[in-house]
Structure 1
Amino acid sequence: MATAQKRTKKKDNQSDSSEEEDYTPYIPVKQRKKIEIVNLKKKLGISGGAKEEELMKADSSGNEGDRDDLKRWILDGSDSDSGEVKKDGISEQDLGPLANVSLLDQHNVLKKKAEAKKETDTEKMLKEEEKILERVARETALKGVAELAKGIEYTDPIKTGWRAPKFIQEQSPAKWEKIRKKHHILVEGEDLPPPIRTFRSMKFPQPILDVLTKKGILEPTPIQIQGIPTVLSGRDMIGIAFTGSGKTLVFTLPIVMFCLEQEKKLPFMKREGPYGLIICPSRELAKQTFDIIKLFGDSMANAGFPTLRPVLCIGGMPVKEQMDVINRGTHIMVATPGRLMDMLDKKMVTLDICRYLCMDEADRMIDMGFEEDVRTIFSYFKAQRQTLLFSATMPKKIQNFARSALVKPVTVNVGRAGAASLDIVQEVEYVKQEAKMVYILQCLRKTAPPVLIFAEKKQDVDAIHEYLLLKGVEAVAIHGGKDQEERIRSVEQFKKGEKDVLVATDVASKGLDFEGIQHVICYDMPEDIENYVHRIGRTGRKGQTGVATTFVNKSVDESILLDLKHLLKEANQRVPAFLATLESEAEKYLDIAGDVGCSYCGGLGHRIADCPKLLAMRSKQAQGIGRKDYLAHNSADW
């Protein structure tokens, strides 16, 4: 028993001694905080000192300038001298450098830091976008191979015999600027030609004026006021204006006058020409442009002027008929890139004396894959030429690389590139895929004919056409899969009013002018917003109003819907609820440094870094690497 007590006592003594070893004395909260601050400052490498003491006094003095110095010190970081300042028994080192700065001031400083960082991010994004644009411009420079190889550069524009009337030349530049401002014309370039507000003052002969009057064109539109004098002066030009603004006359009237001047000085011989070349992305647009030139040429010939011989070179038509005109000597050639390339490659035609080149709907041509063909066509020119680029949707990607081939270009801009006409009432409706076909009939009741219906796929065009015929609607259809004779016949029947509805793919959306179209129906939303602008631009032309109805549903890509949403806002149109609620993280970066939306495709719902069109283009290029060589190798084996 005694032994047990001794053991117990021994154990108690051992436990007491161990508790004494583990025992930590109580430290007051204030002292613990001081220790934590000191340890934390040691880790951060901050020490108190004379500088800190001075700033503390400056803060306590209440002077605003001193307080600003304190905040600047906080932003710059601490670099204090050694030493401590005691205050109520507590050193500045223990309390930290922000001890005398209120929480509100600390918050303001941190807020400024965040804003500065945000601005830095914005600048970084702008630099990245500039690099992307430069890379695109470098990859797609519009210069001929020979010019690039020999380093040929033209510094002065082509000289022409046209001069503005004396009374216009005597007007002050301030007067010209006032005219431009009145008509909302934006012009960039050196030695800008004057704007002229009447066709007669542009020195067009009476037969031309009579044709214009017969067509109901009494006064030039804004793009014509500045554009026609620019082209007549021999200047290279980039023309940007909304659909239906009369861009075609800007390049057709001058080329008619230039060719008449050349023919009068020295008649064209056999196989000579063309003097002017106009390239269009679609056969229908080329045919329309050719008809306009022929109309003006015939009116001049009937009035006793020399006869012009224009030629239309498009696929789907016999080459023999085209060669008959070329062999007699041709003044103006209107062509699509494919047929023109084929004729140049086979030496059926030369561009030795060609001094006038116009690319209508230039950006659409590049997007359709004719970029390499266009660059090759430039290589066939033997001397300097006057180059004109026109489109309703020409973002910076075209303007930037086009300038590499243009000499002191004049950019004439009427409205934002890619903007929809304000004369069009845009209606966007959510329609399920299976209900689209039936809903077309309801939409046709909105307005009287003629009506245009656009669809993305050829099979959809055929299905809609067949459905309308079954329902008793007088309709015709065109797309790339139909032969050229049928396409021409369908367009002519629709233009003459023999048919009420034209169903088409985007071949009919670029530049075609149909009289009195009151309603355009988009059966589906196109893959990019530029095609949408071209589609709805078939109505609301020449100052008239029109309606555009577009079907959308869940199958449409969100980035296209965002572009559509911002386009509707820009045109002051009603934005449907399902579009208004659509938001993305990128929307807060849409307006950076005054540059709204994407500088590559012109979409307002994203920036160039997130451009789906640029991504698709690069993906397409990546897929095509080595493909030509592979195909050439295998064709040689055959």
Structure 2
Amino acid sequence: MTSTAFNSLPLAPALLANLDTLGYKEMTAIQAQSLPSVLEGRDLIAQAKTGSGKTAAFGIGILAKLNPAWFAVQALVLCPTRELADQVANELRRLARATGNVKVLVLTGGSPMRPQIASLEHGAHIIVGTPGRVRDHLGRQTLDLSKVETLVLDEADRMTDMGFYDEIANIVSACPKRRQTLLFSATYPDDIRRATDSFLADPVEVTVEAQHDNSQIEQLFFEIGFDQRNSAVARLLAHYKPVSAIAFCNTKVQCRELVDELRAKGFSALALYGELEQRERDEILVLFANRSCSVLVATDVAARGLDIQNLEAVINVDVSKDTEVHIHRIGRTGRGGEQGLALSLCAPNEKKWVKLIEEYQQAPVAWYDLDSLDEGEYGVDAAPMMTLVIAGGKKDKLRPGDVLGALTGDAGLAKEQVGKINVTEFQTYVAIDRRVAYDAYERLSRGNPLGGDFGAFKGRNFKMRFIEI
């Protein structure tokens, strides 16, 4: 039997020690099946769902052969969305802690080019980016991929679905022919196999079953009438009362309509879909991740690459025609050993898609009657946190510790009453326990020489406001 301990791999002692510190004790299925081949330098096609540990599978492979003393782009990771790129880069930085002086740079759209060009001039070892922006840098000759030793295509199926194939082919041609290519994809249909065949040389193929353990995720299906969809979502939320839930819709129009109806019933809900401006999108994700918003109503493309911790429930507002998409949706709950809940609404014309899900998971789904649920009171449980926005960020040298210090000092809060603190370039978002949020604001602004909308952080006055949902 193959060992699943990380110390069974030929890795440097410092990297193994760091993995241990990060809590990486045993390899996940995708890591155990792919890492030995990756460390041998083989090309790889790996089918694995989100949350399976694939980032560490390719991240450890990249770091094992990286030379920090050589300031050249030695690895390139392509991701379909900015959110996934940020997530991957953060994980790579954590994995690289013990290697020392490894520079990971994110190149994605929605951010100005100039700072990215300046960072590239200073050199980087690993680039994590979206195809469009990486292609832009190649066109401007601000990025040199001629020394790349490892190319990773993460969520290749989604990148192809989103129309990035030409950009990817262009980027691949800018990398050396003699390189290692690692392709990770939740699905690997024939069209993607044909499209990516020329990128890979004699690849090892690994498939980790995309099904979910029923003991981890409880799946319930509810039959509804055609005009019941939005009211049924409200009823499920009122009955199950998840602190944090994603409701998946097929279109942005449906997202907007559902959010309007849920808000009218007192739920804190926000819509996430592809056409939003990046600033709006970032703010919505901060509010949802820090528990200032309980329900995120999203399309599949918009929610791709999100990794929300402790997501209690997923609601499929309609049954997806694509079984793999259904598996991806429900796989966002029940992570990290937590119990998850997946609730699916099904109109009569969607039963054929449910049959496909049953065939895929080789087991019948469990049907429940919506009318058997307690009515519950609508919208009585507000999101547990509120988000305070401070008009200062990294450019003002503001750090999470400065904000926490002011809140536990001047504002008189206990550490437990302060949630996530996100410091961006120009703004800082901080989650505060809803029950004490206004009192804390009052204390911070009391007697401020600039007026009631200002608070002192790190000895300086910054404008502040709450985001009301």
Q: Give the one of 261, 284, 287 matched to 1:490.
A: 284
- Gap change, CA 1:206 and 1:473, over 3 Å in 2: farther
Post-superposition CA distance 1:388-412 (Å, at most 9, x none): 1112222344345544432221112
Q: Give the one of 560, 564, 578 matched to 2:357.
A: 564
Alignment of 1:40-59 (within 5 A): none
Match of 1:534 in 2: 328
Structure 2 unaligned regions, length at least 5:
370-469
- Gap change, CA 1:277 and 1:393, over 3 Å in 2: same
Structure 1 unaligned regions, length at least 5:
1-177, 180-195, 578-638
- Gap change, CA 1:225 and 1:447, over 3 Å in 2: farther
How many angstroms does 1:337 deviate by? 1.5
- Gap change, CA 1:406 and 1:575, over 3 Å in 2: farther
Alignment of 1:514-529 (within 5 A): 514-529=308-323
Alignment of 1:317-466 (within 5 A): 317-399=111-193, 402-415=196-209, 419-422=211-214, 423-444=216-237, 445-446=239-240, 448-466=242-260
How many angstroms does 1:288 deviate by? 1.0
Alignment of 1:65-464 (within 5 A): 178-179=1-2, 196-204=3-11, 208=15, 212-213=19-20, 216-259=23-66, 262-264=67-69, 267-268=70-71, 273-297=72-96, 299-300=97-98, 305-399=99-193, 402-415=196-209, 419-422=211-214, 423-444=216-237, 445-446=239-240, 448-464=242-258
How many angstroms does 1:278 deviate by? 0.7
CA–CA separation in structure 1 for the residues paired with 2:86 and 2:157 = 19
Question: Are the counterparts in 2 of residues 231 and 237 from structure 1 also a CA contact under 8 Å?
Answer: yes
> Which one-letter code corresponds to 1:239 in the other structure?
A
User: What is the identity percentage for the equivalent residue pairs of Structure 1 and Structure 2?
Assistant: 34
Match of 1:29 in 2: none
Alignment of 1:574-593 (within 5 A): 574=366
How many angstroms does 1:218 deviate by? 2.4
Match of 2:456 in 1: none
CA–CA separation in structure 2 for the residues paired with 1:470 and 1:215 = 43
Question: Are the counterparts in 2 of residues 421 and 540 from structure 1 also a CA contact under 8 Å?
Answer: no
CA–CA separation in structure 1 for the residues paired with 2:225 and 2:288 = 29
- Gap change, CA 1:202 and 1:401, over 3 Å in 2: same
CA–CA separation in structure 2 for the residues paired with 1:311 and 1:514 = 23
SS across alignment from 1:437:
helix
Post-superposition CA distance 1:280-332 (Å, at most 9, x none): 112211111112122333x33xxxx4312211111111111211211111111
- Gap change, CA 1:458 and 1:421, over 3 Å in 2: farther
How many angstroms does 1:352 deviate by? 0.9
Question: Are the counterparts in 2 of residues 283 and 315 from structure 1 also a CA contact under 8 Å?
Answer: yes
- Gap change, CA 1:515 and 1:479, over 3 Å in 2: same
Match of 1:146 in 2: none
- Gap change, CA 1:198 and 1:456, over 3 Å in 2: same
Relative to total residues, which structure has the larger strand share, 1 or 2?
A: 2
How many angstroms does 1:371 deviate by? 2.0
Post-superposition CA distance 1:568-602 (Å, at most 9, x none): 5x15533689xxxxxxxxxxxxxxxxxxxxxxxxx
- Gap change, CA 1:367 and 1:227, over 3 Å in 2: same
- Gap change, CA 1:325 and 1:548, over 3 Å in 2: same
CA–CA separation in structure 2 for the residues paired with 1:476 and 1:216 = 34
Match of 1:608 in 2: none
Taking only aligned residues, the RMSD between alpha carbons, in angstroms, comes to: 2.7
- Gap change, CA 1:340 and 1:515, over 3 Å in 2: same
SS across alignment from 1:200:
helix
SS across alignment from 2:201:
coil
Question: Are the counterparts in 2 of residues 454 and 503 from structure 1 also a CA contact under 8 Å?
Answer: yes
How many angstroms does 1:554 deviate by? 4.5
CA–CA separation in structure 2 for the residues paired with 1:382 and 1:203 = 26
Name the larger-Rg structure.
Answer: 1
CA–CA separation in structure 2 for the residues paired with 1:420 and 1:508 = 22
CA–CA separation in structure 1 for the residues paired with 2:15 and 2:278 = 31
CA–CA separation in structure 2 for the residues paired with 1:490 and 1:206 = 41
- Gap change, CA 1:564 and 1:509, over 3 Å in 2: farther
Q: Give the one of 231, 241, 263 matched to 1:469.
A: 263
Question: Are the counterparts in 2 of residues 510 and 535 from structure 1 also a CA contact under 8 Å?
Answer: no
How many angstroms does 1:521 deviate by? 0.6
- Gap change, CA 1:285 and 1:434, over 3 Å in 2: same
